[in-house]
Homo-oligomer: A and B are copies of this chain.
Amino acid sequence: MSAMELHPIVGIGEITNGTNLAAVIAEATGPSAAVHLHDGDVVVVTQKVVSKAEGRMVAIDVDDPQAKVALVESEAVRVLRRRGDLRITETTHGFICANSGVDLSNVEAGTAALLPVDPDRSARRIRADLRRLLGVDVAVIISDTFGRPWRRGVTDIALGCAGIAAVIDLRGTPDATGRILAATEVCIVDELCAAAELVMGKDRGVPVAIVRGVPAAWFRDGSVKDEVVRAVAEDLFR
């Protein structure tokens, strides 16, 4: 393996309903920018700007906790746990997360951001638009910030992807001692989102970062929905 680089993409302005995210990213990585897009880059875009661009904002009375809970539950197909106002839910996508991914931070007051309807599709659109606008062949991942049941602190994970495998299956590959590995399907899209988050900074309003130097073998049609979301039948904790 050789080195990789993580670059924040700065200078992305306010995103509203109908903003073409690829055009904004193209502008922010244009000739006068510090970072340009190259073939083989992985572009990680946070869910919030995708939700804004796709018009997934809804009005909410933020001073009424019941209104938030009702919205959260309306976005869920299943509520796994309740504690106070917190709900751990399964979304229509099959994600298990806090409050159905409904987000009140970094959005206009009186509004909440819902998750994109189909984040793999969101990623495919941005990827196709970047190719059209810039002539570059990049992968795109839509990231979000999730908690974990047994570990404190949030980390960024992938909601959707395009042009890159979500999971790399190393099962059946001999390990360094020649034995066959077990349980080594690595969720590279989640690791790429975690890496990208390190240069975004939650409080700095940097919604896009790129990972450069990813192995060529990882680039193929991928899907978070198909590869990462665990089926109920496989699940020991639902």
A interface list, Cβ under 8 A from B: 1-8, 80-81, 83, 88, 95-96, 98, 104-109, 145, 147-157, 166-167, 170, 173-177, 179, 181-188, 190-192, 194-195, 197-206, 211, 213-214, 227-230, 234-238
Pull 25 A–B residue pairs with CB atoms less than 8 Å apart, ordered by A. A1-B8, A1-B201, A1-B204, A1-B206, A4-B5, A4-B198, A5-B6, A81-B237, A104-B182, A105-B184, A109-B179, A149-B235, A149-B237, A150-B238, A151-B157, A152-B187, A153-B166, A153-B186, A153-B228, A175-B203, A176-B203, A181-B202, A186-B202, A191-B195, A237-B237
B155 engages A186 (CB within 8 Å):
yes
Give the residue name and chain of the B residue nearest to A95 (CB).
B150
Nearest CB of B to A160, in Å: 13
B106 engages A177 (CB within 8 Å):
yes
A198 engages B192 (CB within 8 Å):
yes
Output the residue of A107, A153, A157 with the most chain B CB within 10 A: A153
B202 engages A152 (CB within 8 Å):
no
CA distance in complex: A151, B175 (Å)? 24
CA distance in complex: A109, B191 (Å)? 30
In-complex Cβ contact of A152 among B88, B96, B204, B228 (8 A)? B228
B152 engages A229 (CB within 8 Å):
yes
On whether A194 and B202 interact (CB within 8 A), knowing A105-B175, A151-B228, A151-B229, the answer reads no
A181 engages B105 (CB within 8 Å):
yes
On whether A202 and B183 interact (CB within 8 A), knowing A106-B175, A151-B229, the answer reads no
B186 engages A190 (CB within 8 Å):
no
